[in-house]
Chain A
């Protein structure tokens, strides 16, 4: 048997947290992630299966919502990202596929992305330096895919003007961490 050490996207054995001024930037690794895409012509079967699985309808454009253990995030027309605690849902793709059957295509995404959570009263000041999305107007429940310092990112508002999650492709981890910490230092 191999005995391989799991590394975080930033390359350390444990996720990093950095405090800069009043802002906290944390690498988050306790989340499993999968994408769910509606298959053509399966709208009705998909709506029923999704409602059974999540006990709610999937969110509208630009919106995410928590449904039990699942975070449901709108990604694009007929596509959603589903997040859940890694400890209980490491095999999230299989769990979702079992629930949705052939009405949707499910793809494992967990290790494809790096997630940073930025918290603090000046989080909007930070995002406005990096990102064209209107972070000051984003309320709890808003989620949108946009650019952040030229990197394609998913911006999720967990709490209005206080707490945002930023997801970027995993290979951008160090670049995104650099952009976030540099911007945080410029705010002071």
Chain B
């Protein structure tokens, strides 16, 4: 049975930016529906910077209110917005020279149609109903001189010091032929590797020898035992972070396959309290039921993982091996 030659992964995290005194002021002013730049010599830079971008010199905190209207200096039309775009209908990304500024602000323009956009046109902000101190407090710019402002006064500026940034990335990993073969064999309940003809070491899923840097092709495939020895382990007290599901101390063991070959790292030992895991303990793989085997964890960055195929390792009850011989083998 073959497996897919690609795996798709998503990682995401809510980063928390510290804005510092200058960008913090810019975002704070947005909550009062004001746009500020900073004076740098003869120029006014918008958004403000802590330093002169040409010399690196620190700028005095001389903030200047600019806009809210401005002139489009350049633009590009987005005919088919995607989910991460700020508007859900066709729009233009624009460089706007706000009145009183000497640099251009990147923002979006809601102009309806591409032929309504031109360099030199006048635009003004459409403000969000409830400003929060982010760049999208300006929902977008619209053609004309007049800002679109919700009813009522915005009130005093609120102090904004941080910005939440929810980052998400989905990427596709293309598997090497060696990894595809490795995963296919795992699906069939077999652990396979390639033995280097020069140094006699076995490697899982790499297709080359890490020591001799030579290619290890399919002609060097070898079945490996699904039994081994716990060479070392770690007991982790989990710390909370976004995405962390572990709440109790958990153990991860390294297993050296029988015959002192490859190490399989970060394995679970089944049916044994964490405190009873020992170096030298003999274990045997417990495979997932065939229907549940899944190659989603096989990626080009995770050589030799058995996640999705082997649930964990069960002590065989045989006498332990001498620990010293194995302890160095962790990854």
Q: Tell me, yes or no, whether A binds B.
A: no
Chain A interface residues (CB < 8 Å from chain B): none
| Chain B contact residues, CB within 8 Å of chain A | none
